[in-house]
Structure 1
Amino acid sequence: MAEVEETLKRIQSHKGVIGTVVVNAEGIPIRTTLDNSTTVQYAGLLHQLTMKAKSTVRDIDPQNDLTFLRIRSKKHEIMVAPGNLAFHFLVKLSFCFTR
């Protein structure tokens, strides 16, 4: 578990990182640096999206698997790194673009 803590601290220390969430295989948050309502919202929605993406990758090639999912919007970037059956790491990053 110390290795997980070190990884989360390293991710959280990067410039622009708003928060991290770790969920179990059912999408239930088990560790977060975000407030409760934001954690529940992101964990639930991203768990569903990640499961659908994993299924799609497997449908295309049954011997392949999803290793990383990156979502960018105008305000934020969300990176999902599915782990083994026990964990998924979710990272929410914020970017400010000036034009």
Structure 2
Amino acid sequence: AEVEETLKRIQSHKGVIGTMVVNAEGIPIRTTLDNSTTVQYAGLLHQLTVKAKSTVRDIDPQNDLTFLRIRSKKHEIMVAPGNLAFNFICKASLYLTA
């Protein structure tokens, strides 16, 4: 119930396009995105997160990746690696104000 409430709260923020929860293997468990987008993002972001975690550990074995943020001209993707079982992914549009 707490997870559902958190996902609903994040999804309600302006600009959020979708949210996804994936397991340790990068397989989507819960998503608000369409199937093809979910499969594409889950696979690619899982690989990137594994590499980023490894890089952080190589730099400092006592450290761990806590958050990964990717920002392009159009979108921002936020990955919150959880425990060994789950990762949370959020995709949002950028609303730039002058």
Bin of the TM-score, shorter chain as denominator length: over 0.9
Identity value in percent: 90
Residues of 2 paired with 1:57 and 1:95: CA distance? 27
Greater Cα offset, 73-82 or 88-97 = 88-97
Q: SS of the counterpart of 1:79?
A: strand
Structure 2: 5+ residue stretches without partners: none
Counterpart of 2:10 in structure 1: which amino acid?
I
The alignment's C-alpha RMSD in Å is: 1.1
Residues of 1 paired with 2:36 and 2:48: CA distance? 18
Tell me, yes or no, if structure 1 residue 50 matches structure 2 residue 49.
yes
Partner residue of 1:66? 65
Calculate the TM-score normalised by the size of structure 2: 0.96
Calculate the TM-score normalised by the size of structure 1: 0.95
Q: Following TM superposition, where does structure 1 have runs of at least 4 consecutive aligned residues deviating by more than 6 angstroms?
A: none
Partner residue of 1:3? 2
Residues of 1 paired with 2:6 and 2:84: CA distance? 18
Shift in Å, 1:3: 1.0
Residues of 1 paired with 2:50 and 2:62: CA distance? 16
Q: How many residues align?
A: 98
Q: 1:98 to 1:3 in 2, by over 3 A?
A: closer
Shift in Å, 1:97: 4.0
Partner residue of 2:93? 94
Structure 1: 5+ residue stretches without partners: none
Partner residue of 1:18? 17
Residues of 2 paired with 1:10 and 1:98: CA distance? 23
